[in-house]
Amino acid sequence: MESPLFLLKTEGLHLGYGRSSVLRNVNFEVRPGEFWFFLGPNGAGKTTLLKALLEEIRPQQGRILSDPKLYRRDNLGFVPQRCDLNPTLSTTVREFVLLGLVGIRANRRDRETRLAWALDKVGLVGKAEKDYWSLSGGQRQRALVARALVRRPRILFLDEPTKGLDLAAEDALMQSLTDLNRQEALTLLFITHDLTLAARYASHVALFHNGKVQGGPISGVMTPDRLQFTYGIPVSVSQEAQGEVTISMGRGRKAT
């Protein structure tokens, strides 16, 4: 049987909790190696869609199609917005990252190889024996990414992983993710509120507004009128000669 061209595809997807509806008629397609950004205001359904793609909630209507060869549990990685770890509990970076291997068969040697690779990819080499709580906020966030990467995923879901990070930590994390996307052809689905990040790193964007999702290549979706419709304030998008994208929001707020 031939593999489909897409990694993931939604057809007429309706999502919600109980009787309440959150998203209606969602149709989009993710192909291997794409870097997707999910953008939209709070409560627009970004995390709900992510949960559905991770099979944590069932569609009310419609379906999610996937490539069975690539879209398997052991090929999926997830980086939550925050970690619920009890802060009074001591744990090393090694123990924390290796927790990501649940559901994957790996012997001791394989585990060590995966651990070293994941820590290398997020710039935490030499920190394996460190106390997780002694790391800085940015390093902890990268440890969360390493915990997802230790599974050697083909597709990585990230729920606002840059929230609360300073600029340097955010830049280091985004650089790690971009390298993984380019070097390992890792498919990334990234939830954020940061339009600038999306403008700089996304290959594809999905805009969430009022129960609807508009998704596709960044050039077709991240347009001023669509962004204004999504956020309800004037947004202008311009591309400099060097390829740098400038986003201006509201009255004169500018970000590049």
Partner 1 sequence: MIQDFASSWHLFHNSYLAGWLIGLLLALIGVLVVARNQIFIGVAVSQASTLGIALTMWLGTSGLFSHLTAEYMSPVMAVVFSVLAALVTVSRGETGKETPEAITGWVFLFAASGAILIVSHSPLGLEEIHRLLSSSIIGAAASDVWIFAVFLGLTAIFIGISFQRLLLFSLDPAMAAAVGMNLKIWGLITAAWLGLAVGLAIRTSGMLYTFGCLVLPPLVAKSLCREVRAMFVVAPLVSLGAGVLGFILANHYDFPPAQMTVALLCLCLFLAWLWRRFRNELKKSP
Q: What are phi and psi of 121, to 5 degrees?
A: -65, -30
Q: Please say which residue, 17 or 232, places its beta carbon nearer to partner 1.
A: 17
| Smallest distance from partner 1 to CB 133, Å | 11
Residue 193, classified by CB atoms within 10 Å of its CB into exposed (0-12), middle (13-18) or buried (19+), is: middle
| Smallest distance from partner 1 to CB 212, Å | 25
Distance of CA 134 to the CA centre of its chain: 25
Q: Please say which residue, 157 or 231, places its beta carbon nearer to partner 1.
A: 157
| Smallest distance from partner 1 to CB 232, Å | 29
**Encoded tokens for 153:** 């995923």
Helix or strand run (H / E) with residue 176: helix 167-183
Q: Please say which residue, 94 or 226, places its beta carbon nearer to partner 1.
A: 94
- Applying CB under 8 A, the residues found at the interface with partner 1 are 54-56, 73, 76, 78, 80, 83-86, 88-92, 94-95, 98-103, 131, 147, 151, 157
Beta-strand pair 155-159/187-191: parallel
| Smallest distance from partner 1 to CB 74, Å | 9
Distances (CA, A) of 11 to 25, 63, 66, 169, 171: 7, 5, 11, 37, 35
Q: Please say which residue, 103 or 243, places its beta carbon nearer to partner 1.
A: 103
